[in-house]
């Protein structure tokens, strides 16, 4: 009976799941089943069902399914809805189909709070409507990569799941503005949304979302090329509690939108404007004047930024820990001088393709408070003016764990060896052009390594 119940709830391919933790526990479950197959086993007599339920509540999906095969009583306990408040099928099985989701929905009912179906491409609107109807108290749902779902799913969530806090519909290519309009109408408590790579969503959907979900704290729209300054300005006006915004690749965004974000959303901690090539120093200055809690700034590919913008940031944003400045081609050593002075918590810094950076800038960085205590990752790929002198300066960075030096033509093996002598645990990634082979003599042929060297 236990096996039959389990099979109804989970597709047969689960039994071939190649999970190392499952294989490690398999022997234990076999031994346990011998002990507990008898309904009068000591563990069932000694421990009340409430305590067994409590123990089961700590198990993952695979472990619960294994326990359900031990005995009739354990089957009932393991499949009790109270044990299925959080479900993540990504590490378990992403080829599940609709009936499995429907079985889970009926069993979990009002207990289910979080479910991740990311990558489950066979799941469609019908099974998710059942989920919404049965699991009215769901707060977190991840549908990233569920390419079969349409606006109908969001409409179901809007109708039945009024307590929804987080929705991820990234890479759901059939979703349009109607989804955000539905969510804005029915889920006023939403705090997090991811619409990355949803080509069907425009400024109209985002404006509807902003009006209906004023509690929004996280907005992610990577690769949404139809995102506009007007949409982000509306978001800034109505969602003043924003802490995280990711506009990676939204290359139509202009300074006006960022300035409104800075003026209205003073709690911003994480900002990604990577490849928003229209932005200028004006937006960095605005952030420096209002967003003092900024922790992460990713602006790779923002080629109009200069030392002026980063000087402003360094004067007020002292909590910065991660900065990605790759391809900010106009910044010079002056930026590093000011970051060294004003950002003592800096842990990650990317300066790849910042071709004006020299050894002097690295020297300033290496003598800063962040270098001696926090700096863990430094990326200097394609910085042609960096020499071995920079590596000598970095000896003072006692917490440095990784440094990237691809295509730094003035870096030598000897310089890297000196650095590793002082910091033997550091990972240095460098590239050295292959040696030009000498003229071949006879049939002998010398082989040369043409791959990257991780030293």
Q: Higher model confidence: residue 81 or residue 16?
A: 81
DSSP class of residue 174 equals T
Q: Where residue 66 falls among pLDDT bands split at 50, 70, 90?
A: confident
Q: Is the pLDDT of residue 237 over 60?
A: yes
Tell me the residue range of the domain where 72 lies. Answer: 44-82
Q: Assess if residue 272 is contained within a domain.
A: no
Q: Assess if residue 54 is contained within a domain.
A: yes
Q: Is the pLDDT of residue 266 over 70?
A: yes
Secondary structure (3-state) at 402:
strand
pLDDT digits (tens, 9 = 90+) for 406-431: 999 999 999 999 999 999 999 999 97
Q: What is the mean pLDDT of residues 227-240?
A: 98
Q: What is the mean pLDDT of residues 19-47?
A: 51
| CATH code, domain with 405 | 3.80.10.10
| CATH code, domain with 52 | 1.20.1280
Half-sphere exposure of residue 360: CA atoms within 13 angstroms, side-chain side: 7
Q: Assess if residue 263 is contained within a domain.
A: no
Q: Is the pLDDT of residue 43 over 90?
A: no
Q: CB-based burial of residue 332 (10 Å sphere; 0-12 exposed, 13-18 middle, 19+ buried)?
A: middle
Q: Assess if residue 106 is contained within a domain.
A: no
Query: 95-129 b/e with 16+ CB inside 10 Å = b?
Result: ebebebbbbbbebbeebbbebbbbbbebbbbebbb
Q: Assess if residue 414 is contained within a domain.
A: yes
Q: Assess if residue 455 is contained within a domain.
A: no
Q: Assess if residue 202 is contained within a domain.
A: no
The tally of domains found in the chain comes to 2
Last residue of a domain, one of 35, 64, 82: 82
Secondary structure (3-state) at 130:
helix
Q: Where residue 40 falls among pLDDT bands split at 50, 70, 90?
A: low
Last residue of a domain, one of 82, 97, 112: 82
Q: Assess if residue 213 is contained within a domain.
A: no
Q: What is the mean pLDDT of residues 77-82?
A: 81
């Amino acid at each position: 009976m236990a096996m039959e119940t389990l099979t109804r709830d989970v597709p047969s391919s689960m039994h071939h799941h190649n999970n190392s933790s499952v294989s490690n526990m398999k022997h234990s479950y076999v031994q346990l089943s011998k002990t507990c197959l008898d309904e009068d086993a000591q563990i069932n007599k000694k421990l009340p069902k409430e305590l067994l339920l409590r123990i089961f509540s700590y198990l993952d999906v695979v472990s619960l399914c294994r326990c359900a095969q031990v005995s009739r009583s354990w089957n009932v306990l393991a499949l009790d809805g109270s044990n299925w408040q959080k479900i993540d099928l990504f590490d378990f099985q992403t080829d599940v189909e609709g009936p499995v989701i429907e079985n889970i929905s009926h069993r979990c009912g009002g207990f289910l709070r979080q479910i991740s179906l990311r990558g489950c491409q066979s799941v469609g609107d019908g099974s998710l409507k059942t989920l919404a109807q049965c699991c009215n108290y769901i707060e977190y749902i991840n549908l990233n990569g569920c390419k079969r779902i349409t606006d109908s799913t969001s409409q179901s969530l809007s109708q039945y799941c009024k307590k929804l806090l987080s929705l991820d519909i990234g890479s759901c290519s059939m979703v349009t503005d109607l989804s955000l309009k539905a969510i804005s109408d029915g889920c006023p408590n939403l705090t997090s949304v991811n619409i990355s790579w949803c080509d069907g969503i425009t400024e109209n959907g985002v404006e509807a979302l902003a009006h209906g979900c004023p509690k929004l704290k996280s907005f992610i729209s990577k690769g949404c090329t139809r995102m506009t300054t007007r949409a982000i300005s509306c978001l800034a006006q109505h969602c003043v509690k924003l802490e995280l915004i990711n506009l990676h690749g939204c290359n139509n965004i202009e300074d006006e939108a960022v300035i409104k974000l800075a003026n209205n959303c003073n709690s911003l901690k994480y900002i990604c404007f990577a490849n928003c090539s229209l932005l200028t120093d004006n937006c960095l200055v605005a952030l420096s004047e209002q967003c003092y809690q900024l922790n992460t700034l990713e602006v790779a590919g923002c080629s109009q930024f200069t030392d002026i913008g980063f000087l402003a940031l360094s004067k007020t944003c002292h909590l910065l820990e991660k900065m990605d400045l790759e391809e900010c081609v106009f910044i010079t050593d002056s930026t590093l001088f000011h970051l060294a002075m004003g950002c003592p918590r800096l842990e990650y810094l990317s300066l790849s393709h910042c071709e004006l950076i020299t050894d002097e800038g690295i020297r300033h960085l290496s003598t800063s408070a962040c270098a001696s205590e926090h700096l863990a990752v430094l990326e200097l790929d394609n910085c042609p003016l960096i020499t071995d002198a920079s590596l000598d300066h970095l000896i003072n960075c006692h917490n440095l764990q990784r440094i990237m030096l691809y295509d730094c033509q003035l870096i030598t093996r000897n310089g890297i060896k000196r650095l590793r002598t002082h910091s033997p645990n550091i990972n240095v990634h460098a590239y050295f052009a292959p040696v030009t082979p000498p003229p071949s003599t006879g049939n002998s042929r010398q082989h040369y390594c043409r791959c990257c060297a991780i030293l």
